[in-house]
Chain A
Amino acid sequence: MTTRLAAPERGWVALVWTHLHKDLRIEWRSREAINSMLFFALLVVVLFSMAFDPTAAASREIAGGVLCVATLFASVSVLNQAWTREIRHEVLDALRMTPADRSAIFVAKVLANFFFVTVVQGLLAPVFFIFYNLRPLGNGWLLLAVVPLGTWALVANGTFFAALSIRSRNRELLLPLILFPIFLPALLAMVLAVKTILTGDGSDPHLLWLKMLAGYDIIFMTVSLLLFDTVLQAE
């Protein structure tokens, strides 16, 4: 009887790239995730701007919240679909039967979702700044750290909990029910960090919210990575 190796001789990074490349190729062909997210996020931003008609000062106060909520709601649609292609036609079972490290599947999926959400945020940003007549009074460059860290917190948790709920009949309802309360600390940190940057009120000189976001990301990504294989094998 022939002996087989326990795992492929490909590096972990190469495995992540294999999964990520596949996810990006599928999205490039279907454009389902980005299109659905973009229209939803645009609607939220436009509707909020019309509903409140804020002054420039008020805009700076609420813009962080609107941006985060728009991203959150729009992301749920893509996170709910994160594992749909793997469930359809039982591809996930085929993946479970390969000797490759399963954590690579999760990391690639998080990276793909992060990329999709970031693309939508990139397209949304100019619209957002125009509709809310925004000009950051604080260090605007910090937004380039705050928004990705908050987005990572959202997609890492969302991808994990989407995997957890894939076998549930009501998974589309279940995901926000689990995700929103757990994402709450990161949401608050992101909203307050964005508000501090936009208003320039100097209320967070030591960047505590930013550090909290980074800590949140590290903790939840580590826990998700450790538990992902168990979640994948659960019946």
Chain B
Amino acid sequence: MTHADASSTTSFRPTPSTAIARVVDISRLFGTFAALRRVNFDFEPGRCYVLLGENGAGKSTLLRILAGLLPPSHGEVQVFGDLAPTEACGRIGYMSHAPMLYDELTAMENLRYFAALHPPQDTLAPENALRQVGLDPSLPRTIGQYSQGMRQRASLARVLLAQPELLLLDEPFSNMDVTSAHQMVALLAGLRTTQRTIVLTTHQRELAMPIADHLLTLRAGELESVADGGALLR
């Protein structure tokens, strides 16, 4: 499916009331370099979207714009109806390449710290968030002493802490060994059953295939194609 097809295909463009996130004609310029060019897409609730593309295709930029960490140079982003991403703090969880945790603190200390910054009634107990990703809450090691796979899991626990409805995961399998990557896939498959919307970027297409409802391919900042993940797997 071409970019033009993707923008005009009704099956990927639910009505505004059902889309959990909607990007309308967004572009992002860094100086004269266009990281994203007029991208249109609607993300349906409870689905898993996998963003594919080469380095510099605009995947991370799109995620950062959806997270509200980067404003688009042109166009509009709406989440949960008509909210701007910056107005939906706590409802969007973002996991970057970096763990977004303090190296000098243990996973439990990090999570307790972040839990204190969210409304208590919306927040998972840090112990439960860590157990959910398969980490031992009593581990005395600091994040700086964790392996890459453990850091990614601790980072995912930080994201899950606020029980976000929209999960944005930037290369969650990067720098992981095969076993850890498969464990991460299993974790995400578990999350997929909780009716959360997941948008993840990866270069490891085959890893993400089992959990992908839709595959979006970006090329040079443009949404090149949209495919049904389930159909491709079959």
Chain A contact residues, CB within 8 Å of chain B: 1-2, 4-10, 14-15, 18, 22, 25-26, 29-30, 85, 88-91, 93-100, 233, 235
Contacts and interface: CB of A to CB of B under 8 A. Distances in A.
A56 to B, nearest CB: 45
Which one of B70, B71, B89, B122 has the highest number of Cβ atoms from chain A below 10 Å of its Cβ? B89
B128 interface: no
B24 interface: no
Interface string B74-97: 000000110000101111111010
Closest 3 CB pairs of A and B: A99-B89, A98-B117, A100-B117
23 contacts: A1-B81, A4-B91, A7-B119, A8-B116, A8-B117, A8-B120, A10-B120, A15-B117, A25-B105, A25-B109, A26-B102, A26-B104, A85-B104, A88-B98, A91-B100, A96-B68, A97-B93, A98-B89, A98-B90, A98-B117, A99-B118, A99-B119, A235-B70
B71 A235 contact: yes
B103 A94 contact: no
Interface string B113-125: 1101111111000
A30 B116 CA distance: 23
A91 B165 contact: no
Chain A CB count within 10 A is highest, among B100, B101, B117, for B117
B92 A97 contact: yes
A8 B122 CA distance: 9
Given A1-B80, A8-B120, A99-B119, A93 B94 contact: yes
Given A85-B103, A235-B70, 8 more contacts: A4-B119, A6-B89, A10-B116, A18-B113, A25-B105, A88-B103, A89-B102, A235-B71
**Interface size class for chain B?**
35 or more
A2 B165 contact: yes
B4 interface: no
Contacts of B81: 1
A86 to B, nearest CB: 9
Contacts of A26: 102, 104-105
Contacts of B102: 22, 26, 85, 89, 91
Interface of B: 67-71, 80-81, 86, 88-94, 96, 98-105, 109, 113-114, 116-122, 142, 158, 162, 165
Nearest to B144: A89
A89 B117 contact: no
Contacts of A25: 104-105, 109
Given A2-B165, A4-B90, A4-B119, A91 B101 contact: yes
Contact of B89 (A9, A29, A90, A97): A97
Contacts of A99: 89-90, 117-119
A215 B48 CA distance: 55
A173 B201 CA distance: 36
B158 A94 contact: yes
A168 to B, nearest CB: 15
B101 A89 contact: yes
Contacts of A9: 119-121
A97 B103 contact: no
A235 B116 CA distance: 26
A10 B94 CA distance: 23
Contacts of A96: 68-69
Contacts of B113: 18, 22
Contacts of A90: 96, 98, 100
A87 to B, nearest CB: 10
B99 to A, nearest CB: 5
Contacts of B116: 8, 10, 14-15, 18
Contacts of A89: 98-103
Contacts of B98: 88-90
A97 B69 contact: yes
B99 A100 contact: no
Contact of A22 (B90, B94, B103, B105): B105
